Amino acid sequence: MKTIKAAVCHTFGAPLTLDDIQIAPPGQGEVEVTLDAVAICHSDISFAEGAWGGHLPAVYGHEAAGRISAIGAGVEGFDHGDDVIVTLIRACGSCPTCAGGQPVSCTTPYDGLDGPLSTAAGQPLLQAMACGAFAEKVVVSARQIVKIPADLPKEVAALISCGVITGIGGAVNAAKLRAGEDVVVIGAGGVGLNAIQGARIAGARRIVAVDMSPEKLEIAREFGATHGVLATEAKPWRGAYKALGGKGADVVLITVGAIPAYDQAPRYLGPGGRAVMIGMPHSGQTAQYEPVVMAALGQGLQGSKMGDVVIQRDVPWIVDLYQQGRLKLDELISGRWSLEEINEAIADTKTGSAKRNVILFNR
């Protein structure tokens, strides 16, 4: 067991505390990664606020990048010192969903309480989201990591492991967006901006960003949106119709967890359109829509978890796009913080103004 620093949640809704914790060495099929960077995702905040329940104490954090510092038995294809991103997608590789090409929906259970973390006193400590990356090191399955070029900045690489693949994958993998289709993206935060980039890369004709902030709509244009509509307008879908030449969208990507966004999403659709649910509302919240309209117009609703990605396939593609200058990643970083400043970074993220705040361990 090693002693490391981690930001621990002891009480839902309370500030995280910086604790010394214990981390076990990697077991069969696992690796230890010493982290250089971890980004703060709204899912981490929602978990820490108790939105989806779970065991406490816990270590959250799941958008991470670093270097392999130890390797367990049976791991192939990785070496000590490899630069990697770390994801929360702990896929067994052999269950029906994994074998069917959907590793994000792996049905093999993983109990983070039986994971590598424990308190300094030896008590159970949840490795949340199979990752627990608000810490100096993680021990994860080798199936959760992907090698990256040594010259790729770790603060940029960390973003790829969730927000980037979720947004781009939502447009490309889940929506199966085709060249020439028109798209509405509801929410211009970190995931929304990447959904816009995914739509642009897929060849969308018009991309309408919808957000409550005029400033975010301007940023959305920098990332590829052709039009912007304020969500605070009365019946904002009418503004989207106008931007799309008097018709509804082929695809609506809902990238926020706000219930009004889900209530309104079908109104942006044209005949035969499809809405992809990416943002995560709190447990127990419900949305309303009129199913007869969707049935009559042949419209559809579908969910997308983590952009339906296969990380070993999609991450190298995304890295190449970035290195070719075809994908904005540096511009997604709003602030850089130390682990000791994590509560301030979380508070800044909760204001809604930040795209992504990143914790740097070598700051």
CATH of the domain at 14: 3.90.180.10
pLDDT of residue 354: 79
pLDDT of residue 353: 77
Q: Indicate whether 246 and 190 sit together in one domain.
A: yes
Concatenated DSSP letters of 139-187: EEEGGGEEE--TTS-HHHHHHIIIIIHHHHHIIIIIS---TT--EEEE-
CATH of the domain at 284: 3.40.50.720
| Structure tokens given for 341 | 């400043």
Q: Indicate whether 55 and 138 sit together in one domain.
A: yes
Residue type, 283: S
Domain membership flag for residue 356: yes
Domain membership flag for residue 312: yes
Rounded CA separation 119/14 (Å) = 18
Q: Indicate whether 18 and 152 sit together in one domain.
A: yes
Q: Indicate whether 9 and 157 sit together in one domain.
A: yes
Q: Indicate whether 261 and 318 sit together in one domain.
A: no
Beta strand residue intervals within 278-315, DSSP E: 300-303
- Spatial contact of 306 and 104, defined as CB atoms under 8 Å apart: yes
Q: Indicate whether 342 and 274 sit together in one domain.
A: no
pLDDT of residue 185: 98
pLDDT of residue 99: 93
- Looking at the structure of the chain, the number of domains it has is 2
Report field, pTM of the whole predicted structure over 0.85? yes
Residue 328's domain spans which residues?
A: 2-162+308-360
pLDDT of residue 352: 80
Q: Indicate whether 7 and 155 sit together in one domain.
A: yes
pLDDT of residue 362: 82
Nearest CA among 232, 126, 134, 226 for reference residue 182:
226
| Structure tokens given for 362 | 């070598």
Q: Indicate whether 118 and 35 sit together in one domain.
A: yes
pLDDT of residue 246: 97
Domain membership flag for residue 168: no
Domain membership flag for residue 78: yes
Question: Can you list the alpha helix ranges (DSSP code H) found in the chain?
Answer: 42-48, 96-99, 154-159, 165-169, 190-202, 214-222, 236-243, 259-264, 291-296, 311-323, 342-350
Domain membership flag for residue 171: no
Domain membership flag for residue 170: no
At 358, is the secondary structure helix, strand, or coil? strand
- Digit-by-digit pLDDT tens for the chain (363 residues) are 999 999 999 999 999 999 999 999 999 999 999 999 999 999 999 999 999 989 999 999 999 999 999 999 999 999 999 999 999 999 999 999 999 999 999 999 998 899 999 999 999 999 999 999 999 999 999 999 999 999 999 999 999 999 999 999 999 999 999 999 999 999 999 999 999 999 999 999 999 999 999 999 999 999 999 999 999 999 999 999 999 999 999 999 999 999 999 999 999 999 999 999 999 999 999 999 999 999 999 999 999 999 999 999 999 999 999 999 999 999 999 999 999 999 999 999 998 877 899 999 987
Domain membership flag for residue 167: no
Q: Indicate whether 330 and 200 sit together in one domain.
A: no
pLDDT of residue 69: 98
List, for residues 147-187, the tens digit of each pLDDT value.
999 999 999 999 999 999 999 999 999 999 999 999 999 99
Mark residue 169 as left, alpha or beta (left: phi above 0; alpha: psi -120 to 50; beta: remaining).
alpha
Q: Indicate whether 96 and 186 sit together in one domain.
A: no
